[in-house]
Amino acid sequence: MTDTKMKLKVFGVARDIMGGKEVEVKTVQNVAELKKLLLTDFPKLKELNSLLIAVNQTYASDEISIAETDEIAIIPPVSGG
């Protein structure tokens, strides 16, 4: 089996931590697996109060399945002002 990659759109402070506005990671099955992978590959993400994942422009809970063709966004906490 070949290692396939999925593209993530990254926003806010997560962009600084992950090194860009688009990052590729290995393909996972669901949001829970993606969170686990991100916290392993980018341990500084653990310092954030929260980290939301959006799949196809909708906030996604851990059990939501992910396909390589989905639009996935990593959204850190946003401060108001």
**With a cut of 50, which residues of the chain have pLDDT below it?**
1
The pLDDT value given to residue 79:
65
Q: The domain at 5-75 falls in which architecture?
A: Roll (3.10)
The pLDDT value given to residue 4:
87
The pLDDT value given to residue 78:
75
- Residues forming a β-bridge with 73: 9, 54
> Closest by alpha carbon to 74, among 42, 52, 47?
52
The pLDDT value given to residue 11:
96
The pLDDT value given to residue 57:
96
* 17-38: pLDDT as tens digits: 999 999 999 999 999 999 999 9
The pLDDT value given to residue 2:
58
